[in-house]
Amino acid sequence: MGYRSVLDLGCGIGRHALLFAQHGFAVTAVDLSSAGLRILAGEAEKRSLAIETAVADVRKLPLGNGSFDAVLAFQSIYHVDSPGMAEALAELRRVLREKAEVYITFISKADASYSDPGNKVVDENVRIKKEEEGSDLPHFFVDRNDIRLLLEEYSILSLRHIEEISQGKTSWHYFVHCAREG
């Protein structure tokens, strides 16, 4: 497809950003954690890879309009409330070039944490969950209809509903590959 520029949105310590850079992509990695970005920068330097980094919220990206051919938002964009999801998706659309592709994950409403009575219900999609370190964090949950509505300005190329079992815990996510329409 001739794609060159990739945004790793919510990159953490940068495992995907490093992989993209190793394969010749111009990579920008964004995360709320400056600590994670410092780890990424150190690893990129060790490997002689050029990766731009920015500490930023998914709802307000310090990036130019139409800057990217592709975006990876792997298990990152859903830590927002409903207005925050609308803002994050608007920002995502803003920074994408026409016909750009996105690979994004959402938490499924099939996940047990969606109906866990210990989580505070904010609205149809949002639950406040207590994280392992003790903080309360919003989680945005979806079903297929929600995905269609959220991504109505995109062509959905593939959609997978995946059950993951890891260390005795089960989680459900949607993995969506889509393209920005003109």
Q: Assign domain 5-180 to a CATH class.
A: alpha beta
* Tens-place pLDDT, residues 15-29: 999 999 999 999 999
pLDDT above 90 (res 135): no
pLDDT above 70 (res 1): no
- What pLDDT is attached to residue 77? 93
Distance CA(176)–CA(107), nearest Å, equals 11
By percentage, how much of the chain surpasses pLDDT 90? 91
- What pLDDT is attached to residue 111? 96
Domain boundaries defined on the chain: 5-180
Query: Do 3 and 27 meet the contact criterion of CB atoms below 8 Å apart?
Result: no
- What pLDDT is attached to residue 16? 97
pTM of the complete model? 0.92
* Tens-place pLDDT, residues 29-83: 999 999 999 999 999 999 999 999 999 999 999 999 999 999 999 999 999 999 9
Cα atoms in the 13 Å half-sphere on the side-chain side of 80:
19
Write the CA distances from 120 to 113, 117, 143, integer angstroms: 10, 7, 19
* Tens-place pLDDT, residues 88-109: 999 999 999 999 999 999 999 9
pLDDT above 90 (res 133): no
